[in-house]
């Protein structure tokens, strides 16, 4: 990223002027330190409203709605946190949705591609173009999204619905710090599935297992929809979502580094299972 000193100063002043901002990247990394050489701790997807709690040079430390913090380049943010908070808002239901400059998928390449759960401000639904919705983007550009990629007012899912829904993500890559359909890590994936049930759980597995919104479950009583936690008595390092019949789905580097289904009765998983939790 190349920024002039004037540009950097302007970004800092803009970020300092207001307590919030909107993410401008499809899946913006949040770093442990204000440098891309540090660990990615999480992500915030396109159009997400965040709090900017600290600034340092061309970086801002942001806090997401789940109270998680990390550093992000100010160039990835816009000084506004009101995007898609009012009016008609569509949410991307496809694993990835292209946004176009016109109602034609052939004439030009997509303006950008956004992940599942991206919220978009709808500004027009023209007669005769029922296939398309015109949207305002966080940077004030307009674009078109296909109606089949989005939904309005998605309702919380039942346990049975989330079990089936989770399988849509099979084969998506494991990504450390990932919190989008472009690539999840283990806790990001489980957090998303809980969110589809209408529950906001903490971002990290080590925080989820201690959260007061869940209750411990004995292994003999494990049921579909329960959250599984793995590691050791000293540290939880992994989580998965129980499907039933001894199977669970998880984003993992064990075997193939993807989201896939594993068998809880395999010695590898049995040995490191340290807890089971059920949403209250």
Which 3 state secondary structure label does DSSP give 274? strand
In this prediction, residue 207 has a pLDDT band, given cuts at 50, 70 and 90, of very high
Domain residue limits, the chain: 5-78, 89-151, 159-279
pTM recorded for the entire structure: 0.91
Mean pLDDT calculated for residue range 251-255: 97
Mean pLDDT calculated for residue range 128-138: 94
Q: What percent of the chain has pLDDT over 70?
A: 94
Give the per-residue pLDDT at 3: 44
Is the pLDDT confidence value at 162 over 70?
A: yes
Report the alpha-carbon distance of residue 271 to residue 274 in Å, rounded.
8
Spatial contact of 240 and 262, defined as CB atoms under 8 Å apart: yes
Report the half-sphere exposure of 228 (CA within 13 A, side-chain side): 30
Give the per-residue pLDDT at 233: 84
Spatial contact of 22 and 77, defined as CB atoms under 8 Å apart: yes
Mean pLDDT calculated for residue range 46-74: 96
Asked: is 89-151 a CATH 1.10.10.10 domain? The reply is: no
Residues 6+ apart with CB under 8 A from 163: 224, 225, 243, 244
Report the alpha-carbon distance of residue 228 to residue 239 in Å, rounded.
5
Instruction: Supply the mean pLDDT for the chain.
Output: 93
Is the pLDDT confidence value at 64 over 60?
A: yes
Across 10-24, 74-88, 172-186, least confident range: 10-24
Report the half-sphere exposure of 276 (CA within 13 A, side-chain side): 17
In this prediction, residue 120 has a pLDDT band, given cuts at 50, 70 and 90, of very high
Give the per-residue pLDDT at 75: 96
Is the pLDDT confidence value at 156 over 70?
A: yes
Is the pLDDT confidence value at 19 over 90?
A: no
Is the pLDDT confidence value at 7 over 60?
A: no
Is the pLDDT confidence value at 15 over 60?
A: no
For 159-279, CATH number? Answer: 3.90.1720.10
Q: Do domains 5-78 and 159-279 have the same CATH topology?
A: no
Is the pLDDT confidence value at 154 over 90?
A: no
Fold of 5-78: SH3 type barrels. (2.30.30)
Q: Using CA of residue 246, residue 252, residue 253, residue 259, what is the dihedral sign? A: positive
Mean pLDDT calculated for residue range 38-51: 98
**Residue-wise pLDDT tens digits, 79-117:** 988 999 999 999 999 999 999 999 999 999 999 999 999
Q: What percent of the chain has pLDDT over 90?
A: 89
In this prediction, residue 199 has a pLDDT band, given cuts at 50, 70 and 90, of very high
Is the pLDDT confidence value at 40 over 90?
A: yes
Distance of CA 269 to the CA centre of its chain: 26
């Amino acid at each position: 990223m190349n920024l002039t000193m004037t540009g950097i100063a302007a970004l800092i002043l803009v970020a300092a002027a207001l307590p919030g901002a909107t993410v401008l990247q499809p899946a913006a990394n949040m770093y442990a330190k204000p440098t891309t050489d540090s660990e990615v701790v999480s992500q915030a997807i396109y159009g997400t409203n965040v709090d900017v709690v600290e600034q340092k040079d061309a970086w801002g430390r942001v806090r997401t709605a789940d109270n998680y913090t990390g550093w992000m380049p100010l160039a990835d943010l816009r000084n506004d946190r009101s995007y898609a908070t009012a009016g008609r808002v569509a949410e991307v239901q496809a694993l990835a949705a292209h946004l176009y400059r016109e109602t034609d998928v052939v004439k030009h390449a997509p303006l950008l591609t956004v992940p599942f759960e991206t919220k978009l401000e709808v500004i027009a639904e023209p007669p005769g173009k029922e296939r398309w919705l015109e949207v305002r983007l966080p940077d004030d550009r307009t674009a078109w999204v296909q109606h089949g990629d989005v939904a309005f007012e998605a309702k919380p899912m039942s346990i049975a619905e989330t079990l089936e829904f989770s399988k849509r993500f099979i084969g998506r890559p494991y990504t450390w710090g990932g919190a989008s359909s472009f690539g999840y890590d283990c806790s990001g994936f489980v957090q998303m599935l809980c969110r589809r049930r209408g529950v906001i759980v903490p971002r990290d597995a080590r925080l989820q297992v201690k959260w007061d919104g869940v209750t411990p479950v004995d292994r003999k009583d494990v049921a579909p929809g329960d959250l599984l936690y793995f590691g050791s008595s000293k540290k939880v390092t992994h989580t998965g979502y129980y499907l039933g019949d001894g199977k669970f789905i998880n984003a993992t580097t064990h075997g193939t580094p993807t989201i896939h289904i594993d068998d809880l009765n395999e010695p590898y998983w049995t040995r490191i299972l340290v807890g089971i939790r059920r949403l209250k």
